[in-house]
Structure 1
Amino acid sequence: MLHLRESPSRITPVHQHVGPLVTIAIPTFNRSELLRACIDRVLAQTYPRFELLICDNASEDDTEQMLAGVDDDRLRVVRHDTNIGLLPNWNSCVEHARGDYIVILPDDDAIAPHFLERCVDVINQHPNLQLVVSLSDVELKEFGTAVPAQASRVLSTGVQDGIDVLMEFLRGRITVTMCSVLMKTSMLRERGGIPQNFPHTADVAAWAPLLLFGQAGFVNETCASFTHHNDSETGRLSLEQLLDDGWKVADLISAVADERVADQSKRELVRVNAKRCFARRGMIVLSDHRRNGGSISNLLNAAWRFRTHLRHGDPASAVRLAALLMLPRPVIDQLHRLKHAVATPSA
């Protein structure tokens, strides 16, 4: 078990800072071509004070040789002799980071050149922020399309009350993914690193509770792109695991709110919206299961088992799920293709 605790440190303003302010950490395994493209995007950052940490999970392809050919003194490589698993490798990133802040960037995701610059601008307004949240597009690999990030209509770029940012996320009003979040390395270590008991939602379980620790940075601008595809480690989890994992995160957020939020009405607001958020996400999981060819019987069994949780979801999600249950599979596929054709702007 990793021990990731260390004493908190005060962030020095950029013009006084010694060493990297930020660690951009890429956990990788057997995807050298994707990794090379990811590295190129990182090295294109307009803000210079960062290190690039690669945690190679015992890749068997040409990853090691490719990394040896990268000529940049900001690059540092940690290579494991054996594959330690996805989330332990994420924690290896946390363990070896030298920056005051860390971004965990999976090798199939991307960050914009201005990402760090925008985040550091906000940090300089308040040097003890636990995290900075920016927005992320979502690339749907299986459909060859991308969903643009949803921006907040009420929050602007700058220092915000962390609860306000969390509420925007829980209500589905902003699009945030792991690769668009800058987290305080010492705080993440104090909390034990990336939680290992959330195989599907470890990313949200890592950053979302930090928004309950006071003020947070917010960049109301797209700074990253997250790739969603079915051929992933989390994509191979069972339907029950996916649903259970989401609800555990709702419970975690509520528990941290009980510890950190003094105002009872705000605590209740966090609790209610956490339940609604992950009930809504649960409906999406069930819909995706059906769309990807899952049997109706499995879907109904899972929905019945988690019925007390799913009832917190919004009516629109329930209607979409009911439609997927009743419509024939060819009609579902056609509607889904039409939806993404309409949503995707022409070149």
Structure 2
Amino acid sequence: MALHRDDIHDGGPTVSILLPTYDRPAYLCEAVASVFAQSYDDWELIIADDGSSEETRAWLRGIEDPRVTVLWLPHSGVPSISRNAAIRQARGRFIAFLDSDDLWAPAKLARQVEALLASPGCGWSYTAVDLIHPDGEPVDRSGFAPWLPHAGDITEHILKIEAIIAIDSVMVDRHLLMEVGGFDEGQRFGEDYDLYVRLAMRSPVHVIDEPLAVVRASDGVNYSANRIHAYLGWVQLYARYARLLPTRRLRAIARRRRAESLLVLARLYAKAGQTKNAWRTLLHGTPHSVLAYPSWGWRAARVVVGAGLRMRKRRD
């Protein structure tokens, strides 16, 4: 369901915080605590519960603060549906996002509100983030590429995944968010980057080069399956961008990124023993991908050979 400007309600707090959740009560408790610990207190918190179990629902019913609203939603398993439901209820000038297993630094809202008010030409903002393991221990980032703060018109940087943006770090003017239509509920993976592209095409962004959000890394459960679904999402996303982006350069970037995502998806299928899906992915993507860049063909051939060798080893 799309969002429209008619859904806007004025006269509320400065910031509406949107927190979708489905169970994980221990993490949820920490996330909500990080909201109450904010040095900036002109906010409302809208928790969109996606049909959680009674343990989580009982904990949510126990929150006694007039700034907190809980939306009791039927389970969908689609965060975009929960986030859009919360957006429709939001009254703040700015919207901030927090996932139920992540955290904020105490100065997060204050710093971003100040930055956006001081930069009237920017309709949204994001920050650097810290990473923690599921148990709360910091992630060793010594082997990671350095984080780069891209500001201004970052559409191309987002398409190339050069701008690394966590949804927990984003704050956006509510009117801008409504103009771009909120989250695409049909985009099940990569829906956050889809939103960033649409925001970037409408407004420059302000970046704060300081980790004001804390993102909990995946626990590794169903890692391969999750990566397959994620790359299915990237292929879907870039196929749409290749048709709809406003300039030839941006559409060319989208075509190349789609082709690269198809190769990764085929490799993931092959490693998972889904050889037919690997070949089907490459066959489906060949015509457009070869046009996107000539080297795609021989790279696809290597994937096919690798998939065949894996199948032979399994038979032996």
Shorter-chain TM-score: which interval? 0.7 to 0.9
Change (3 A) 1:315 1:38: farther
Match of 1:6 in 2: 6
Please give the alpha-carbon distance, in whole angstroms, between the structure 1 residues aligned to 2:100 and 2:46: 12
Q: Is the 8 A contact 1:134 1:181 kept in 2?
A: yes
Match of 2:233 in 1: 242
Match of 1:152 in 2: 148
Match of 2:211 in 1: 222
Between stretches 53-62 and 105-114, larger displacement belongs to 105-114
Question: Given the two structures, how large is their TM-score scaled by the length of structure 1?
Answer: 0.69
Q: Give the match's secondary structure for 1:54.
A: strand
Q: Is the 8 A contact 2:279 2:304 kept in 1?
A: no
Q: Deviations over 1:84-131 (max 9, x none)?
A: 452322211111112122123221233333332332232022235321
Change (3 A) 1:119 1:268: farther
Say what the alpha-carbon RMSD is for the aligned residues: 3.9
Match of 2:275 in 1: 296
What is the identity percentage for the equivalent residue pairs of Structure 1 and Structure 2? 21
Q: Is the 8 A contact 2:4 2:178 kept in 1?
A: yes
Match of 1:26 in 2: 19
* CA drift at 1:61: 3.0
Please give the alpha-carbon distance, in whole angstroms, between the structure 2 residues aligned to 1:239 and 1:174: 18
Change (3 A) 1:114 1:244: same
Match of 1:48 in 2: 41
1:274 aligns with 2:254: yes
Between stretches 282-291 and 194-203, larger displacement belongs to 282-291
Q: Is the 8 A contact 2:122 2:206 kept in 1?
A: yes
Question: Given the two structures, how large is their TM-score scaled by the length of structure 2?
Answer: 0.75
Report the count of equivalent residues.
298
Q: Give the match's secondary structure for 1:63.
A: helix
Q: Is the 8 A contact 2:95 2:173 kept in 1?
A: yes
* CA drift at 1:54: 0.4
Q: Give the match's secondary structure for 1:161.
A: coil
1:74 aligns with one of 67, 73, 83: 67
Q: Give the match's secondary structure for 1:199.
A: coil
Change (3 A) 1:319 1:29: same
What pairs up with 1:138-149 in 2 under 5 angstroms?
Answer: none
Between stretches 127-136 and 26-35, larger displacement belongs to 127-136
1:83 aligns with 2:45: no
Change (3 A) 1:108 1:324: farther
